[in-house]
């Protein structure tokens, strides 16, 4: 009998390991970014029928002269790859993503990931300070999963750790202004036999005042992500996805094409005797 895996833990992996791990910054170049872009896009195309996204104007209408942070819920293994493709293929920027398990997947550094060790506050602070510094390069978008751990899909309420507020506060002190944009990620079935990816961009939050209460600002960001996710849920549950833009959409499988043709056949009516 198979051993039942524990799907979710309240304790971050680096705390469970209780091992001091050296901080590792992102280490990208054009060659590895090209490889990563092709590889991660191919992964999505092999597993999903389509990639839909909505509200990208909230990103495009931002102040382009200041740093931008995306923040999103974290419910499964695909989230980082979806954010990579969102950042590179939709926003045309390089991603910078804090990854707790980077020591297990060191090649992700070449794609823009950097490590965080939550064994202690002092260890985690290295990643937070690095996050503030890398925002100075406007070719990057910092992507954060502020819940700090993987939660089940549709988990409510959103509860953030204060790391995002710390980054935002210190980034404003350093750069004068930043953009924060909530992203809601969903994986669902519509009419195909394969799931689809749905990404919604929430309204851009412009922060210019570094004199914030971190707990209050964290609650504010929680509410903004909740609004974005609730609006996305409404659209999906009511089938309002026709206006979503498409990053990719697969051709129908042969048996689905046959099904579509059969639906167009007018069967003769059977008269009752």
CB 134 within 8 A of CB 150: no
Beta carbons within 8 Å of 174's beta carbon, 6+ residues apart: 132, 135, 136
Q: pTM (2 decimals)?
A: 0.90
The tokens for 266 are: 């007018």
Handedness of CA 239, 62, 178, 108 (dihedral sign): positive
Cα dihedral 247/253/258/259 (nearest 10): -60
Cα gap 73→30, rounded to integer Å: 29
What's residue 123's pLDDT?
A: 84
Nearest in space to 181 (alpha carbons), one of 98, 96, 65, 72: 72
Per DSSP, 45 falls in state: H
Cα dihedral 158/131/149/24 (nearest 10): 170
What's residue 91's pLDDT?
A: 98
What's residue 273's pLDDT?
A: 46
* Furthest C-alpha separation in the chain: 85
User: Could you tell me how many helices (H) and strands (E) the chain has, helices first?
Assistant: 8, 9
What's residue 251's pLDDT?
A: 77
Cα gap 272→195, rounded to integer Å: 42
Locus of tokens 């600002």:
217
pLDDT in tens, 97-109: 999 988 888 899 9
Cα gap 17→14, rounded to integer Å: 5
Euclidean distance between the first and final Cα of the chain, in Å? 57
Locus of tokens 């992996």:
13
Average pLDDT, rounded, for the chain: 91
What's residue 260's pLDDT?
A: 65
What's residue 16's pLDDT?
A: 79
pLDDT < 70 positions in the chain: 1-4, 252-263, 265-273
Angle, CA 72 vertex, CA 69 and CA 78 arms, to 5°: 115
pLDDT in tens, 167-200: 999 999 999 999 999 999 999 999 888 999 999 9
What's residue 7's pLDDT?
A: 85
3-class secondary-structure state, position 185: strand
């Amino acid at each position: 009998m198979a051993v039942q895996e524990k799907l979710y833990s309240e304790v971050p992996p680096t705390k469970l390991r209780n091992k001091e791990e050296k901080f590792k910054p992102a280490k990208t170049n054009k060659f590895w970014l090209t490889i990563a872009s092709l590889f991660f896009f191919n992964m999505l195309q092999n597993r999903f029928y389509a990639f839909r996204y909505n509200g990208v104007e909230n990103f495009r209408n931002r102040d382009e002269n200041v740093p931008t942070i995306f923040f999103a819920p974290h419910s499964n293994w695909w989230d980082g790859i979806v954010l990579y493709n969102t950042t590179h293929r939709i926003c045309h920027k390089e991603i910078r993503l804090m990854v707790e398990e980077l020591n297990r997947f060191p090649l992700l550094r070449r794609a823009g990931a950097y490590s965080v060790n939550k064994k202690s506050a002092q260890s985690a602070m290295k990643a937070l300070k690095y996050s503030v510094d890398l925002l100075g390069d406007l070719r990057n978008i910092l992507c954060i999963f502020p819940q700090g751990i993987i939660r089940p899909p549709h988990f409510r309420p959103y509860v953030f750790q204060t790391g995002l507020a710390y980054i935002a506060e210190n980034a404003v002190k350093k750069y004068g202004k930043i953009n924060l944009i909530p992203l809601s990620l969903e994986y669902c079935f519509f009419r195909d036999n394969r799931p689809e990816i749905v990404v919604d961009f929430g309204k851009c939050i412009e922060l210019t005042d570094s004199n914030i209460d971190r707990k209050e600002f964290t609650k504010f960001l929680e509410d903004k992500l909740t609004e974005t996710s609730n609006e996305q849920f409404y659209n999906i549950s009511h089938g309002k996805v026709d206006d979503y833009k498409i990053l990719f959409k697969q051709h129908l499988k042969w048996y689905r094409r046959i099904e579509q043709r059969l639906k167009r056949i007018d069967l003769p009516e059977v008269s009752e005797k």
